[in-house]
Amino acid sequence: MHLPAVPVSQSPEDKFREYLASRSRPQRYTEQQRDMVRYIFSQHNHFDADQLTEDMRRAGFRVSRATVYRTLTKLVDAGLLRCLETGPRKYYEHDYGYPQHEHMQCQVCGKMIEFQNTSIEAILREVCRTHQFQATSHTFIIQGTCAECNQARVPKRRLDLI
Amino acid sequence: MHLPAVPVSQSPEDKFREYLASRSRPQRYTEQQRDMVRYIFSQHNHFDADQLTEDMRRAGFRVSRATVYRTLTKLVDAGLLRCLETGPRKYYEHDYGYPQHEHMQCQVCGKMIEFQNTSIEAILREVCRTHQFQATSHTFIIQGTCAECNQARVPKRRLDLI
DNA sequence: ATTCTTGCAAAGCCTTTGCAACTGC
DNA sequence: GCAGTTGCAAAGGCTTTGCAAGAAT
């Protein structure tokens, strides 16, 4: 479920190093951070901190929960990841090199479906103008049932009717 | 910050009693639940469980945290309240007798500003049709700074420059 | 009388943090 | 070697829950 990528000049890794170096107090680029950046950008998932920890461990990396949490915060701050706060936990997705989009979330299988809609930006501008509101971000998530989960249900209902 | 109310035939209290009675196992209408329904619908706030508990206590009611949590769940299920899950805690607002709307949330003062936009429903329908997605609800929240908090900042900046 | 609700405190879930050991620069 | 990072385990913030006592029908 990809949208077309946005061309960028730097690799995510280089962009992160640049971010770390440009701090008023320069931060360090460690092995675990490097592993995380590479792992995250080798996939295209929506994930939370614990999923990432487990997945990376299964893939043979040595990562600690605390460092995953700390590094995810930095990656958001660096503009590499975007954080979706919908419900009790935080989900992350690519931001660097990836276009603006919205989400549909299937409440059966949990899948996140991305979509783009050109009218939304106009709505944002208009609403903010009329309310003199200075927007910094927005969250648009449609909850429901995805096509596959919907199909999987219909046969079940039919059987129930017999 | 009200939107025009939607006319309804029953009082929130009656609607809740009806909901409780119509369960396959009828549930009971207790004093604390009655106090909560009346208190909540005598105001027009966005609130979370702990805010409500404190406010009601200050107003002289005897309510326990656990019961507030349990009753809020029932009120959502009964269609009286809507739950906004944005971030770590759950916010509640009137649903019964109140029109569909979206939110702007000020990250400085926390205020929730409600707005309506007629194009959003069309977008929802179109996106769901193209993805064969069965929507049950949606969340549209614009984060940023409200007009008042924005104004309060400008004078401060000017002073900083002296 | 029966069954649901209440209230307390404990547990759960996710995230953050204090601190000693460690490591990048 | 200095200053930032790591990892553990503990603490934090919010919500849910087990259970005995209490209340609604």
Q: Which residue of A has its CA nearest to B115?
A: A127
Confidence of residue B23 (pLDDT cuts 50, 70, 90): very high
Residues A68 and A114 in one domain: no
How many angstroms away from the CA of B60 is the closest CA of chain A? 31
DSSP letter at A86?
Answer: -
Residues B110 and B70 in one domain: no
The residues with which A82 forms a beta bridge, in sequence order, are A93
Dist CA B74 CA B78 (whole Å): 6
Burial class (CB in 10 A: 0-12, 13-18, 19+), A21: exposed
DSSP code per residue over A25-43? S-----HHHHHHHHHHHTS
Instruction: Please identify which residue in the block is written with the tokens 């899950």.
Output: B85
Residues B59 and B31 in one domain: yes
**Whole-prediction pTM:** 0.91
* CA A39 to chain CA centroid, nearest Å: 14
pLDDT at A155 over 90: no
Residues A46 and A69 in one domain: yes
pLDDT of A157 reads 59
Residues B67 and B1 in one domain: yes
In this prediction, residues A38-56 reach a mean pLDDT of: 97
Question: Chain A residues with CB inside 8 Å of B106's CB?
Answer: 133
Residues A136 and A160 in one domain: yes
pLDDT at B104 over 90: yes
Q: Among the three residues A71, A98, A125, which one is the final residue of a domain in this structure?
A: A98
Dist CA B105 CA A79 (whole Å): 22
Residue nearest the C1' of D25 (CA based): B28
Residues A24 and A89 in one domain: yes
- Strands A134-145 vs B81-85: parallel, antiparallel or unpaired: unpaired
Dist CA B38 CA B29 (whole Å): 13
C-alpha triplet A25, A26, A28: angle, nearest 5° = 135
How many angstroms away from the CA of A23 is the closest CA of chain B? 23
* Range A52-58 contact pairs with CB under 8 angstroms and sequence separation of 24 or more: A52/A92
CATH of the domain at A119: 3.30.1490.190
Q: Among the three residues B59, B78, B98, which one is the final residue of a domain in this structure?
A: B98
Alpha-carbon distance values, B139 to A79, B2, B122 (Å) = 24, 19, 15
Q: pLDDT by residue (tens digit) across A76-119?
A: 999 999 999 999 999 999 999 999 999 999 998 889 999 999 99
Interatomic CA–C1' length for residue A89 and nucleotide C13, angstroms: 9
Instruction: Please identify which residue in the block is written with the tokens 């997945």.
Output: A55
The SS3 call for residue B82 is strand
Interatomic CA–C1' length for residue B68 and nucleotide C5, angstroms: 12
pLDDT at A132 over 70: yes
The SS3 call for residue A91 is strand
In this prediction, residues A22-51 reach a mean pLDDT of: 97
Exposure string of B108-119, with b = 16+ CB inside 10 Å and e = fewer, is eeeebbbbebee
Q: Among the three residues A81, A98, A115, which one is the final residue of a domain in this structure?
A: A98
Q: pLDDT by residue (tens digit) across B143-161?
A: 999 999 988 876 665 555 5
CATH of the domain at A31: 1.10.10.10
Residues B72 and B151 in one domain: no
Domain count, chain A: 2
Residues B94 and B147 in one domain: no
Are A95 and A79 within 8 A, CB to CB? Answer: yes
Residues B28 and B80 in one domain: yes
Backbone angles phi, psi at B69, to 5 degrees: -60, -45
Residues A4 and A73 in one domain: yes
Tell me the residue ranges of DSSP E strands in B3-86: 81-85
Which range of residues forms the domain containing residue A66?
Answer: 1-98
Confidence of residue A2 (pLDDT cuts 50, 70, 90): confident
Residues A73 and A115 in one domain: no
In this prediction, residues B54-78 reach a mean pLDDT of: 98
Question: Chain A residues with CB inside 8 Å of B136's CB?
Answer: 107, 143-145
CA dihedral of residues B150, B154, B155, B156 (deg, nearest 10): 90
